């Protein structure tokens, strides 16, 4: 009942709007990209101008999705009536935290998410947050069904892409019977499952594989079961790789039997270090760990960003303050 009322509020806002901006999160993944494009497509078919925006580039594995090339990398706040954050988790993760303060003062701000901890609910006018959903795409699906949207092969591919990515190809513990029901419906509607699996799973370049090799070579496992590794900016240059090529490394590290928790530190060119955390243990909550450093995520997959630089001393790697 609560979700239905929220759907009603959001649909009413959209019907009164002419221009809507949809924000993806930093270091965009398959869920935020696909979910945002699905929502934008729905709005456009209703005669509403809808733009997607992200701070940063869209990783190559998601370029197969229709409309990716139309995603903006900046925007003018005055151009939009409504702003929607999809799968963002917190203000910093939108990439535009300062502008969010302006948005909330002068525009309707809608927060759509499925993370356990989401601080956007404090500033959003409408919150559509379902912590039980496997992905933001699952929430968008429910909204589309409520709104009576015509879901064709294109829309179904968006939804299935988001779910497939955030569930690790239906391998993670966030998969529910509801998740599988939605995925099944998407397939019936013509979702391109072969394109989804081929692009998300099978797009590793030689540069990416070299980068993975460096991360695996440096992997260390502590007595307490923490498996960790690092990748520097120099590593990216040597391998002729991009930061997005490191996507998936932490999942592989986490697959080591004795690893209770896996963490990958990736050095960024802006003087910050991105930490990605994963676990398969039912006793470990990596989101709780990430929150200690101002990050967040899910119980099994989370991350945070800190200021600093990766440095090597006497054969060991550490973090120096930026």
SS3 87: coil
**Cα distance between residue 88 and residue 242, in whole Å:** 22
Tokens of 68: 């990716």
Return the pLDDT at 300: 81
Secondary structure letter of residue 260 according to DSSP: S
Distance separating the N- and C-terminal Cα atoms of the chain: 48
Return the pLDDT at 119: 78
In the predicted structure, residue 1 carries a pLDDT above the cut 60? no
SS3 36: helix
Q: According to CATH, what is the number of the domain 206-320?
A: 3.10.310.30
Return the pLDDT at 321: 62
Q: What is the pLDDT of residues 244-279, one digit of tens each?
A: 888 889 988 998 889 999 999 999 888 889 999 998
Q: Do residues 109 and 124 lie in contact, with contact meaning Cβ atoms separated by under 8 Å? A: yes
Domain ranges of the chain: 2-200, 206-320
In the predicted structure, residue 145 carries a pLDDT above the cut 90? yes
Q: What is the pLDDT of residues 58-106, one digit of tens each?
A: 988 899 999 999 999 999 888 899 999 999 978 888 989 888 888 888 8
**Cα distance between residue 35 and residue 118, in whole Å:** 17
pTM (2 d.p.): 0.84
CATH of the domain spanning 2-200, picked from 3.80.30.20, 1.20.120.80, 3.90.1640.10, 3.40.50.300: 3.90.1640.10
In the predicted structure, residue 200 carries a pLDDT above the cut 70? yes
């Amino acid at each position: 009942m609560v979700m239905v009322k929220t759907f009603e509020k959001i649909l009413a806002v959209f019907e009164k709007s002419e221009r809507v901006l949809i924000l993806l999160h930093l270091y965009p993944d398959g869920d935020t990209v696909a979910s945002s494009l699905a929502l934008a497509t729905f709005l456009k078919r209703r005669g509403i101008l809808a733009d997607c925006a992200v701070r940063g580039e869209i990783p190559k594995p998601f370029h197969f999705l229709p409309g990716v090339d139309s995603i903006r990398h900046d925007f003018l706040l005055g151009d939009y009536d409504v702003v929607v954050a999809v799968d963002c988790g917190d203000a910093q993760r939108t990439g535009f935290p300062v502008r969010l303060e302006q948005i909330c003062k002068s525009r309707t701000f809608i927060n759509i998410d499925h993370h356990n901890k989401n601080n956007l609910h404090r500033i959003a006018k409408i919150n559509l947050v379902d912590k039980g959903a496997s992905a933001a795409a699952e929430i968008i699906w429910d909204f589309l069904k409520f709104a009576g949207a015509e879901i064709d092969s294109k829309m179904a591919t968006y939804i299935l892409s988001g779910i497939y990515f955030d569930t690790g190809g239906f391998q993670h513990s966030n998969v529910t019977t509801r998740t599988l029901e939605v995925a099944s419906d998407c397939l019936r509607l013509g979702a391109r499952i072969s394109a989804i699996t081929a692009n998300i799973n099978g797009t590793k370049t030689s540069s990416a594989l070299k980068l993975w090799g460096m991360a695996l070579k440096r992997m260390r496992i502590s007595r307490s079961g923490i498996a960790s590794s690092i990748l520097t900016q120099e590593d990216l240059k040597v391998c002729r790789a991009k930061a997005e090529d490191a996507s998936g490394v932490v999942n592989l590290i986490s697959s080591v039997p004795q690893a209770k928790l896996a963490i990958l530190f990736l050095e960024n060119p802006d003087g910050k270090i991105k930490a990605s955390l994963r676990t398969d243990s039912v006793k470990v909550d990596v989101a709780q760990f990430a929150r200690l450093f101002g990050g967040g995520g899910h119980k099994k997959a989370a991350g945070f960003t800190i200021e600093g630089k990766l440095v090597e001393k006497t054969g060991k790697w550490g973090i120096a303050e930026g």
